[in-house]
Structure 1
Amino acid sequence: MTRVVTLAHYYTQPEIQQMADKVGDSLELSLYAREAEADIIVFAGVRFMAETAKILNPNARVILPDAQSTCSLVTQTDVAALRRWRESYPDHVHVSYINSSAEHKALSDWIVTSRNVDDIIAHLYEQGQQVIFSPDRNMGAYLNFQYGYDMPLWSAVCEVHDKFNEAALKEAFAAVTGDKYLIAHPESPLPVLTGADYVGSTSGMLNWIKAYQGDAAAVIFVATEDGILYNMRLARPDLDIRQAPIYAGCQCNSCPYMKMNTIEAVKRAQAGQGLEIDYLTAEQMDDARLPIERMLEFSQRYYQ
């Protein structure tokens, strides 16, 4: 009997999450994919996530429900140009955010997620290393600002998080008379992040909501993709949780690629149809696996 395991990212629609064996952020799903005893892994997310699952579990068939589910951090990065950029810093460690293609990962020394990026880069600096960071310019700018690093940065952005802006947030805050908070994903622009009460990964923000003990009448604005609001409201229905605006009055910021994971597409993938991640060579997977495994081993040690 064929064993099918379905993974879904927090940014997919609630009905897709309800179809999954595991729902999580990039780090959680990477760890789960590596250990999954599956003939087929259906990854309801975007292509780089499915590629990561294939790299970590090469014996499984990994299927992406919709072939067009990509990420602006991937499409804005020319791998040949990235290679030249990396070669211009021969004495630096290349740290890459997991939101990157397999070819990008293969040019990296370390892979990080939004949950462990602070700790891994701090670890490298403690060892006396110099670091270059790709592909997310906003995340890198925040790290440089927060910790006083001087990392050279690649220049790509998440098209969803980059839409959050300081002016719209100030206007939204001004309309709230009581307590208000902002929690934000580090893919957001620096002016948004510097005004946040908490900056962290998708799971980190969800845990912040779960642990919140302040005024129940407060308004909590969340600067990230709207899919996670389902999980937050499920965990804390007593709270007023709103997506941060991207311009005056608009709380409508969704990742178009995540929303390509429809019920019909996921069902087809579970039946073995969709984009199979079978185009990566053994060499590409080996080169990309090394920096991913470094990250996973660090995370398992650090977060146990």
Structure 2
Amino acid sequence: MSPRVVTLAHYYTAPEIQRMADKVGDSLELSLYARDAQADIIVFAGVRFMAETAKILNPQAQVILPDAGSTCSLVTQTDIAALRAWRESYPDHVHVSYINSSAEHKALSDWIVTSRNVDDIIAHLYAEGKKVIFSPDRNMGAYLNFQYGYDMPLWSAVCEVHDKFNEDALNEAFAGVSGQAFLIAHPESPLPVLQRADYVGSTSGMLNWVKSYQGELSATIFVATEDGILYNMHEARPDLNLVQAPIYAGCQCNSCPYMKLNTVAAVQAAQAGQGERIDYLTPEQMDAARLPIERMLAFSQRYVA
């Protein structure tokens, strides 16, 4: 019997890759799907930390990343030894880590969060009287501190894609719109961008905002996130004027170079059993990383729609 191959693709991959997938989604959706997939082989068209998460949640499956170079700046900007020392300097704090992190990083965490459930989980911890440190995304942590009055110490890494969005370029773009304009933004963006957004939320959250939009059809909707999601937004609402937010004057061209390594040829090769196999994690590493992930998944399934 041939092995059952399941292909997962993140919203930030190219449209042709999404059309090859059995499931397209954001980090939380794909994490849940990977955990429950009855698959012999999981091909993860995304980046390495996502494939690692799939392996941690479904260790019996063979997980393949189409291109070995598909990493993330939040991972490459985080030195694990320095992270461990930072965590140990806050012994009475709960360490909450964004899912955009390596398996080693997750193993040093108490909770894992996604951009969809981070608000709820951190609010839950504060309601329990806990103190929190947050890693690795500095921009997301800064927004949470600003929005809710937290005082979380933050790690210093950023997403190199979202960090390029800036207030000056947005001001110029808004000035060039004669009618109504909106901004929706991912919380990995810098705080000045998020402060002027009409909606801040996860990739799926922004997509749902677009799907449910009932305002003027002539309005311009600027989208401050990776350009891959524009495909899904245009598919859902071809009647809307959706434009990627600029990163500098005149430029609407912000793509994740690591996501775009997932080419048709690379995904096809992975489906045939080639590519980068996630077989380097030890059982001890996976056990340590799985605990905070499963804590998040249990919370999300109970509390987060």
In the superposition, the TM-score normalised over structure 1's length comes to 1.00
Q: Secondary structure at the match of 1:95?
A: strand
Cα distance in 1 for partners of 2:299, 2:44 equals 24
Letter in 2 for 1:270: Q
Equivalent pairs counted in the alignment come to 304
The one-letter code of the counterpart of 2:255 is S
- Structure 1 unmatched ranges of 5 or more: none
Aligned to 1:3: 4
Matched, 1:41 2:42: yes
The equivalent residue for 1:115 is 116
Counterpart residue identity of residue 184, structure 1: A
Could you give the per-residue CA deviations for residues 161-181 of structure 1, whole angstroms, max 9, x where no partner exists? 000000000000000010000
Structure-1 residue corresponding to 2:97: 96
List alignment gaps of at least 5 residues for structure 2: none
In the TM superposition, what whole-angstrom CA distance separates every residue of 1:265-296 from its partner, at most 9, and x where no partner exists?
Answer: 00000000000000000000000000000000
Q: Is the 8 A contact 2:120 2:304 kept in 1?
A: no
Residues 210-253 of structure 1: per-residue CA shift (max 9 Å, x gap):
00000000000000000000000000000000000000000000
Counterpart residue number, 2:56: 55
Tell me the SS of whatever aligns to 2:223: strand
**How much does 1:40 deviate?**
0.2
1:194 partner letter: Q
CA distance in 2, matches of 1:261, 1:102: 21
Matching residue's letter, 2:286: M
1:187 to 2:206 alignment? no
1:1-304 map, 5 Å: 1-303=2-304
Report the residue type matching 1:108 in the other structure. S
Residue identity in the other structure for 1:174: A
Distance 2:235 2:243 in 1: 13
Residue 33 of structure 1, CA deviation? 0.1
CA distances 1:136-156 after superposition (whole Å, capped 9, x unpaired) = 000000000000000000000
SS in 1 for 2:270: helix
The percentage of counterpart residues that share the same residue type is 85
Query: What is the rounded CA distance, in whole Å, between the counterparts of 2:304 and 2:284 in structure 1?
Result: 30
1:169-208, CA deviations, whole angstroms, 9 ceiling, x for partnerless residues? 0000000010000000000000000000000000000000
Which residue identity is paired with 1:157?
V
Amino acid at match of 1:9: H
Mapped partners of 1:14, 1:33: distance in 2: 21
Q: Distance in 2 between matches of 1:281 and 1:118?
A: 31
CA distance in 1, matches of 2:130, 2:14: 41
Moved beyond 2 Å, runs of 4+ = none
User: Could you tell me how far apart the structure 1 residues matched to 2:111 and 2:274 are?
Assistant: 33
Contact 2:117 2:304 in 1 (8 A): no
> Per-residue deviation at 1:303?
2.7
Q: Distance in 1 between matches of 2:267 and 2:74?
A: 24
In the superposition, the TM-score normalised over structure 2's length comes to 0.99
C-alpha RMSD of matched pairs (Å):
0.4
Give the partner amino acid of 1:96: S
SS in 2 for 1:234: helix
Matches of 2:260 and 2:45 in 1, distance apart?
9
Q: Secondary structure at the match of 2:16?
A: helix
Q: Secondary structure at the match of 1:51?
A: helix
